[in-house]
Amino acid sequence: MSVFDLAVTDLRSVNSALHDLINSPGKEAQWEIKNPRGSHAVAVGINAPIQLNIRGNVGYYCAGMNRQARITVHGSAGPGVAENMMSGEVIVRGDASQYAGATGKGGLLVIEGNASSRCGISMKGIDIIVRGNIGHMSAFMAQAGHLVVCGDAGDALGDSIYEAKIFVRGTVKSLGADCIEKPMRQEHIDLLARLLERAGIADVKPTEFKRYGSARKLYNFNVDHADAYG
C-alpha cells in the first residue's frame, strides 16, 4: 500500500501521483492519505480503479471528477465533495458541507452523516445516499440520478427538477417549484432497496420512504403556470 502524509508531503505531489495511475494500470490498488488537516482539492481527478482511504477531515472539492476509484473519507468533507463525479464511489464517514455531489454524472456518493444545503444540485446521473438530513435547495435543477435521504430535507427540495428521483424517509420542510410527491410503486421500492444495499444501509426499510419528482410543468413556458417560475 502506498501512503502519503500531508504533514510532510505537499498536496500537488500527492495529486500528481494519483493522476499518473492512469498510465500505470498495474500499480498498487491500495492507497492512503494521512493528516489531510482540512486541505482543499484532495484526490481530485483520479481515473483509476484504486481504493483510497483519507484519514481525517478534508476541505472543499475532495474527490471531484472521480472516475473508477473508491474513495473513503474517514471524517467530514467541505463544500463540493465528489463534484462532477463520473464513476466509482465516494464515502464520507462524517458530515458533508454544501453542494455535495454537484453536477455528478455517475457513480455513488454515500454520506453517513448529514449534508448541508444544495446537496445534489444539477446532478446528472449520480446516485447520492445520505444517512442523515439534508439542507435547503437540495436537488435544485437535478436532471438524472437518485437522491436518497434517510433523515429530513430542508426548504425548496427539488426546485426546478427535471427527471432525477428523490426519496426521503423523514419530513420535507417544503418542496421547490415544480417538485411534487409521487406514488411509490413496487419498481421504486425495488430500486430503493438496491440503492440502500449498495450504500451498506441495512436497518432502513425502503417502504418507509416517500418519492418526489418533477410535475413537468416548467419544461416549456406556459402562461397558466407563470406563478410557479422564479
What tens-digit pLDDT sequence spans the chain (230 residues)?
A: 899 999 999 999 999 999 999 887 667 799 999 999 999 999 999 999 999 999 999 999 999 999 999 999 999 999 999 999 999 999 999 999 999 999 999 999 999 999 999 999 999 999 999 999 999 999 999 999 999 999 999 999 999 999 999 999 999 999 999 999 999 999 999 999 999 999 999 999 999 999 999 999 876 656 566 566 55
Instruction: Please tell me the distance from the alpha carbon of residue 210 to that of residue 184, in angstroms, as a whole number.
Output: 7
Quick one: which of 127, 124, 120 has its CA closest to 146?
Answer: 127
Give me the amino acid identity at 221.
F
* Cross-strand partners of 129: 110, 148
Give me the amino acid identity at 201.
I
Instruction: Please tell me the distance from the alpha carbon of residue 58 to that of residue 44, in angstroms, as a whole number.
Output: 12
